Structure 1
Amino acid sequence: MLRAVIWDVDGTIAETERDGHRVAFNRAFADCDLAWDWDVSTYGHLLRVPGGRERLLAWMDSRPDAPATEAGRLQLASELHRRKGHHYCELVEQGTLVARPGVLRLVHACVDAGVHLAVATTTGRGNVEALFPRLFGADWRTLFPVRVCAEDAPQKKPHPQVYELALERLGVAAADAMAIEDSPAGLGASRAAGVGCVVTRGAYFEDADFRGAVHVCRDLDHAMATSDGIGTPVDLPALRHLHAAGRWMVLDEDGPRR
């Protein structure tokens, strides 16, 4: 029985990577008088490296104008990441980031039906606490009583740590949960924890290989092709159907396949 839905944040609940974190990083670079700019394509490549600080350090490896010593790079990465967090919160307050199609609908349907919700993200808690009140209102903590963030799970996705902690705090078995993700790393993390996963393709993963997902769709409002040919958005009945049908059956836009 489906008892819990576990949500990724960046790229899944909102397009925060392209429209939030990327922009905030560029503003942090300007703060520090760095002639660095992460355009949409560049940031897409950098997303192969999980974690903001890790992404900065990987970028510095190829930059002749980065600090020469490891200690200097670590210090600069920490300062840039701190400033990025400030700018990200400003972008959220300005209303730049909105929920992706179908997110609010599915969240409230789950709550109304007594299906538990959790967050399993390797972004920082401050980013979640900035974004969620804007998207879900003042009672967002009631909607998502379990929130596992980077501070709780230092092992980045595709490591399953963040999902294992979410399941533990929910008190729910992996077989009774479903994940919603947007990236191959997120899918890998949920699968490694034994949790079936619906993938709603983020802007940076439109062409990624999501074999092993229960279902793959453009967004949660995009009509999915079920085995009986009926088109439906990914609503709670559809999610329950996918869960009951078998966690490792793959359904994509063209219908079911094994």
Structure 2
Amino acid sequence: MTTLIFDCDGVLSDTERDGHRPAFNQTFAEMSVPLDWSEEEYAHKLQIAGGKERMASELTPEFVRANGLPTDPEGQAATIAAWHARKTAIYTQMAAAGKLPPRPGVHRIIAAAQDAGWTLAVASTSAEASVRAILEAAVGPERAARFDAVLAGDVVKAKKPAPDIYLLALERLGVDPADVLVVEDSRNGLLAATAAGLRCLLTVNGYTEGEPNDEAILVVSTLGDPDGEHTRVIANRSRATPGEVVTLADLARCLE
């Protein structure tokens, strides 16, 4: 049985640009933290997997001292946890309000895969509440509930590009790696999937299109919608032959 495992951010929705960065910046403003990540700054932050980890990267000795933040590890961890909890709440509210629409082709492919009896999962290092909100916004509550697994947040210690989240997905799903295709959007995700022995399709975005992608079986601009944005093939190392859109048959051919 064919299995599709989706990353969340940048795959199900263009969340980094439209959701996470604004939510981080709103949190900083509410918490009186003198940070306001620009598009360019946030692009660099995306090289760090995990929201708490991105926030923690700002806690240099100089920044901590200048802003009266805790200097001990426990105090800093508590501060980051409080910031991140507020950021997650802001982001989840945005998703629930429909402010983060799915990327082209996501609903179409998920519906087709479920109707064909494929196994579906999400594997993300984002907070579980955020991931579930994005998934429901992308495909609706009924189809979201039919996913075989949603793995998110701190379910593994090592985040992408470590393969841990995908190794856990294989264990939970009990599937053959040869029958699994991962849909990712970034190099960190690509490296995580391939390190777990899985083939990976990339749907890149403005933050990730310039990243190396040699390990990907297929790289496209989007999965595409017949009546909306069409697919642009960037690299193809598979037997798939996408036209205006990536089809379920194309995904199956990525595993041949």
Flag whether TM exceeds 0.5 (same fold). Answer: yes
Q: Is the 8 A contact 1:11 1:203 kept in 2?
A: no
Distance 2:54 2:92 in 1: 19
Distance 1:232 1:79 in 2: 45
Distance 2:241 2:215 in 1: 21
Amino acid at match of 2:54: R
Identify the match of residue 211 of structure 1 among 206, 211, 214.
214
Distance 1:232 1:166 in 2: 31
2:17 corresponds in structure 1 to: 18
Distance 2:90 2:240 in 1: 47
Q: Can you give the 5+ residue segments of structure 2 that lack an aligned partner in the other structure?
A: 225-230
1:8 corresponds in structure 2 to: 7
Distance 1:190 1:50 in 2: 14
Distance 1:228 1:156 in 2: 30
TM-fit CA distance, 1:133: 2.0
Structure 1 position 239 matched with structure 2 position 238? no
Distance 2:120 2:199 in 1: 15
TM-fit CA distance, 1:171: 1.4
Amino acid at match of 1:37: D
Q: How does 1:167-178 map to 2 (within 5 A)?
A: 167-178=170-181
Structure 1 position 161 matched with structure 2 position 160? no
TM-fit CA distance, 1:148: 1.2
TM-fit CA distance, 1:46: 0.7
Q: How does 1:72-221 map to 2 (within 5 A)?
A: 72-221=75-224
Q: Is the 8 A contact 1:232 1:238 kept in 2?
A: no
- Judging changes above 3 Å, is the alpha-carbon distance between structure 1 residues 166 and 229 closer, same or farther for their aligned structure 2 residues? closer
**What's the TM-score once normalised by structure 1's chain length?**
0.88
TM-fit CA distance, 1:35: 2.3
TM-fit CA distance, 1:86: 1.0
Q: Is the 8 A contact 1:183 1:201 kept in 2?
A: yes
TM-fit CA distance, 1:223: 4.2
- Judging changes above 3 Å, is the alpha-carbon distance between structure 1 residues 33 and 210 closer, same or farther for their aligned structure 2 residues? same
Q: Is the 8 A contact 1:92 1:131 kept in 2?
A: yes
Q: Can you give the 5+ residue segments of structure 1 that lack an aligned partner in the other structure?
A: 245-258
1:253 corresponds in structure 2 to: none
1:65 corresponds in structure 2 to: 66
CA RMSD in angstroms, aligned pairs only? 2.0
Q: Spell out, residue by residue over 1:198-236, the C-alpha distance to the aligned partner (whole angstroms, 9 max, x if none).
A: 000023102111111000111111143867977352111
Distance 2:17 2:42 in 1: 8
Amino acid at match of 1:46: K
Distance 1:93 1:149 in 2: 18
**What's the TM-score once normalised by structure 2's chain length?**
0.88
Please state whether the residue corresponding to 2:141 is helix, strand or coil: coil
Amino acid at match of 1:69: T
Q: Spell out, residue by residue over 1:168-195, the C-alpha distance to the aligned partner (whole angstroms, 9 max, x if none).
A: 1211111110000000010001101111
Identity among equivalent positions (%) equals 36
Distance 2:189 2:119 in 1: 20
